[in-house]
Amino acid sequence: MLQLQSIDLSAVAINSGFTGPVHVSLSLIGDSMYCTETTLNTFGILAVERLSLMLQDIASQLTKFPEGTQAARLTHFRIPPSGSSEEALGLDIKAIVVSGEEGQHLLLAKADELELSELLIAA
């Protein structure tokens, strides 16, 4: 069975405003960090800083949900990865609380990744 792969970014996420364990899907990490040299030169923001900006934005958006919310859908608007103004800027993200072997953690993933995982689990 296909399983969503994620990385525990709790240590990084704490600096961005999160208070508990946070796992981020590999695909979301890749999409948030990717940028061309042109974009880097234009905006001066390194790939790691792009990830940090995304985590800060998500943490800020999640504070607007009622305490105890188990799942949320939100959009992070990123700096254009290739510098093109016609490029899709919004990353559609789902944040869900997941119970695992090590307790509960917040999983951040692209919305379409989680929808595919849910369909595969249901099949």
pLDDT digits (tens, 9 = 90+) for 47-79: 889 999 999 999 999 999 999 999 999 999 988
Give a yes or no: residue 1 inside a domain.
no
Residue 117: the pLDDT is 54
Give a yes or no: residue 104 inside a domain.
yes
In terms of Cβ atoms closer than 10 Å to its own Cβ (0-12, 13-18, 19+), residue 24 is: buried
| Distance (Å, whole) CA 117 – CA 79 | 28
As averages over each run of 10 residues, the pLDDT of the chain (123 residues) reads: 80 93 95 88 87 96 94 92 81 91 91 68 39
Residue 7: the pLDDT is 93
Residue 84: the pLDDT is 78
Consecutive H or E run containing 51: helix 47-62
Residue 119: the pLDDT is 42
Residue 91: the pLDDT is 93
pTM for this model (two decimals):
0.85
Specify the number of domains making up the chain: 1
The boundaries of the domain holding residue 26 are 6-122
Residue 37: the pLDDT is 87
| Strands across the sheet containing 71-77 | 6-8, 22-25, 103-110, 90-100, 71-77
Hey, what's the torsion of the CAs at 94, 53, 22, 28, to 10 degrees? 50
What letter would DSSP give residue 70?
A: -
Residue 51: the pLDDT is 93
Question: Mutual orientation of helices 26-33 and 47-62 as an angle, nearest 10°?
Answer: 120
